[in-house]
């Protein structure tokens, strides 16, 4: 059965800090991949499989910029070309393993696992509020969630669950979230905005701004399905007659397999950049938030994997953005599936 994620898309393979001059093994889109840095600092990504006996190259080592298989010592250049077979003088002509296009924009290392020739036509997505890091301070975290990546997109495109799953974060005067002010849809992205009515600060808002809990503020929430690989949330606390405090969460969602997802999380703010206590407070809070979300999503995934189970969801108004995002993803998958089927037909007729 065809998975529900497109291959012709840039996905986050790792955080920049994770990739060094050693072999990092990771399963991405159900493909075994290794990543490492050459002496020049450039990141290399290649198939984690020796051409000889399918031994994982991640069990081997590096010899300079070359990868050495840990089974029979076969050696590969960074472009995947087999350059040495210790047991004989000659190397089988044309032997090698696949390598993958890489694009690094710290803190993310992006990878293209689809059609190689299409990578150059579609640059990795850019985050509109965080183009160069100017004025922002951030932390990062890597998580693994045993749930399909679309469940994560749908979850973060509808935050109305907070009253049940995260009641402590809701400002004290807000009983329900107002409807979305606007949902903007393009061919490949979905964005929404929501403004809350004025209310006093929640305890966590008071802690990260240093303002009294009696302070009154409105909140502007912006969520964007940037691509199948990326979701962003911008949350601005706008105090009456005062400053705005901006928070940004960037989620890189990369399928490990149809039932598991790597989450590359960046959390940033645009104020009090030198206050380490605020940084640590937000890091812990967002980690706990993500852990609670993970438990919910993994429970849903287990339900969907029950024998004979299928999705029988109903949708409500709050699902507008999530429904559109799912449709974009499935259109991309259908497009790839159709082109693959056509290629097989043409190849068979040759």
Structural fold of domain 137-332: Naphthalene 1,2-dioxygenase Alpha Subunit; Chain A, domain 1 (3.90.380)
- Pick from 98, 136, 150: which is nearest to 269 by CA? 136
Is the sign of the CA dihedral 121, 127, 133, 139 positive or negative?
Answer: negative
Question: Are 250 and 223 a contacting pair, CB within 8 Å?
Answer: no
So what's the pLDDT on residue 51? 96
Please provide the average confidence, as pLDDT, over all residues in the chain. Answer: 91
Arch. (CATH architecture) of 10-121 = 3-layer Sandwich (2.102)
Full-model pTM: 0.92
Q: Say which DSSP state 96 is in.
A: B
Domain parsing of the chain, residue ranges: 10-121, 137-332
What averages of pLDDT result for each successive group of 10 residues across the chain (350 residues)? 91 97 96 97 98 96 97 97 96 96 94 93 77 77 97 93 92 86 86 92 96 94 94 93 88 97 95 93 94 96 86 82 94 85 47
Q: Which residue has the tokens 């600092």?
A: 41
pLDDT at 176: 85
| Phi, psi angles (nearest 5°) of residue 325 | -65, -45
| CA-wise closest residue to 298 among 146, 162, 88 | 146
In tens, the pLDDT along 73-105 reads 999 999 999 999 999 999 999 999 999 999 999
Model pLDDT for residues 167-189, shown as the tens digit of each residue: 999 999 998 888 888 888 888 89
Q: What are phi and psi of 256, to 5 degrees?
A: -80, -40
């Amino acid at each position: 059965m065809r998975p529900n994620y497109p291959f012709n898309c840039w996905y986050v393979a790792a955080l920049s800090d994770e990739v060094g001059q050693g072999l990092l093994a990771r399963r991405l889109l159900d493909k075994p991949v290794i990543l490492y840095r050459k002496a020049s600092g450039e990141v290399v990504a290649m198939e984690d499989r020796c051409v000889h006996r399918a031994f994982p190259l991640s069990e081997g080592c590096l010899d300079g910029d070359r990868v050495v298989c840990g089974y029979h010592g076969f050696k590969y250049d960074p472009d995947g070309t087999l350059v040495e077979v210790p047991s004989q003088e000659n190397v089988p002509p044309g032997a090698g393993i696949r390598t993958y296009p890489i694009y690094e924009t710290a803190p993310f290392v992006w990878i293209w696992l689809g059609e190689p020739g299409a990578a150059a036509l579609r640059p990795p997505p850019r985050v509109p509020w965080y183009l160069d890091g100017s004025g922002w301070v951030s932390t990062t975290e890597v998580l693994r969630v045993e749930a399909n990546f679309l469940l994560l997109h749908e979850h973060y495109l509808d935050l109305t669950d907070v009253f049940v799953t995260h009641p402590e974060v809701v400002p004290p005067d807000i009983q329900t979230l107002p409807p979305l002010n606007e949902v903007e849809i393009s061919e490949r992205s979905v964005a929404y905005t929501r403004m809350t009515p004025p209310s006093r600060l929640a305890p966590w808002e008071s802690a990260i701004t240093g303002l009294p809990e009696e302070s009154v503020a409105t909140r502007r929430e912006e969520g964007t399905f940037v691509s199948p690989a990326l979701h962003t949330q911008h949350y601005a606390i706008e105090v009456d007659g005062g400053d705005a405090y901006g928070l940004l969460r960037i989620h890189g969602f990369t399928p490990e397999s149809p039932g598991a997802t790597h989450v590359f999380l960046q959390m940033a703010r645009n104020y009090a950049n030198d206050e380490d206590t605020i940084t640590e407070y937000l890091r812990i809070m967002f980690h706990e938030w993500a852990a609670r979300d993970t438990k919910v999503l993994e429970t849903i995934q287990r339900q969907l994997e029950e024998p004979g189970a299928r999705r029988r969801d109903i949708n409500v108004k709050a699902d507008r953005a999530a429904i559109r995002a799912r449709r974009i993803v499935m259109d991309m998958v259908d497009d790839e599936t159709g082109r693959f089927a056509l290629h097989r037909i043409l190849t068979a007729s040759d």
